[in-house]
Amino acid sequence: MREIVRFAKPEAVPEAREVLAAQGLPEEDTLAPRLRRLLDDAIDACAALVEPRAVCEELPAERFAAVLAPLGVPGDDLVVGRVYPRAEGLALFVATLGEALPERIRKLFDEDALAEGWMLDAVASAGADLLADRLAERYRQKLVERGLGHARVLPYSPGYCGWPTRGQRPLFDALRPEEIGVTLNDSCLMSPIKTVSGVLVAGPGQAHKFRPDFPFCDDCRTHECGRRMASVLRKA
Partner 1 sequence: MEILKRIADALQQGDDQQVGTLTAEALGAGLPAGDILQRGLVAGMNVVGEQFRRREVFLPDVLLSARAMYAGLDLLKPHLASEGVPSRGKVVLGTMKGDLHDIGKNLVGIMLEGAGFEVIDLGHDVAPEAFVDAAVREGATLIGMSALLTTTMTRMRDVVALVKERGLAGKVRTIVGGAPVNADFAHEIGADGYACDAAHAVDRVRALLGA
From 1, 33, 145, 222, residue interacting with partner 1 (rule: CB under 8 A): 222
Residue 213 has a CB neighbour count (10 Å cut-off) of 7
Yes or no: say if 60 and 90 are a contact pair by the CB < 8 Å rule: yes
Q: How many residues does the chain have?
A: 236
Nearer to partner 1, 10 or 215 (CB): 215
CA 30 to chain centre: 29
**Cα end-to-end span (Å), the chain:** 27
Q: Smallest gap, in angstroms, from Cβ of residue 15 to partner 1?
A: 18
**Looking at beta carbons only, is 69 or 189 nearer to partner 1?**
189
CB neighbour class for 116 (10 Å; exposed up to 12, middle 13-18, buried from 19): buried
CB of 221 to partner 1, least distance (A): 6
- Check binding of 25 to partner 1 (CB under 8 A): yes
Q: Which is nearer to partner 1, 77 or 137 (CB)?
A: 77
**Per rule CB under 8 A, count of chain residues that contact partner 1:** 35
Element (H, E) at 195: strand 195-203
Please tell me whether residue 91 adopts helix, strand or coil conformation.
strand
Residues 72, 185, 213, 234: which binds partner 1 (CB under 8 A)?
A: 185
Residue 122 CB, nearest approach to partner 1 (Å): 8
| Choice from 29, 76, 110, 112 touching partner 1 (CB under 8 A) | 112
212 is an interface residue for partner 1 by CB under 8 A: no
Q: How far is the CB of 198 from partner 1 (least distance, A)?
A: 13
Q: Does 21 bind partner 1 (CB under 8 A)?
A: no
Binding mask 57-96 for partner 1 (x = CB under 8 A): ----------------------------------------
Answer yes or no: are the C-beta atoms of 53 and 59 closer than 8 Å: no
Distance CA 149, CA 140 (A): 8
Alpha helices in 50-113, H assignment, sequence order: 61-68, 79-83, 100-110
Where are the alpha helices (H) located in 9-99, listed in sequence order?
16-23, 33-49, 61-68, 79-83
Which span (48-56, 59-67, 171-179, 181-189) binds partner 1, by CB under 8 A? 181-189
Binding site for partner 1 (CB under 8 A): 23-26, 32, 34-35, 38, 109, 112-115, 117-119, 121, 159-166, 185, 187-189, 193, 216, 219-222
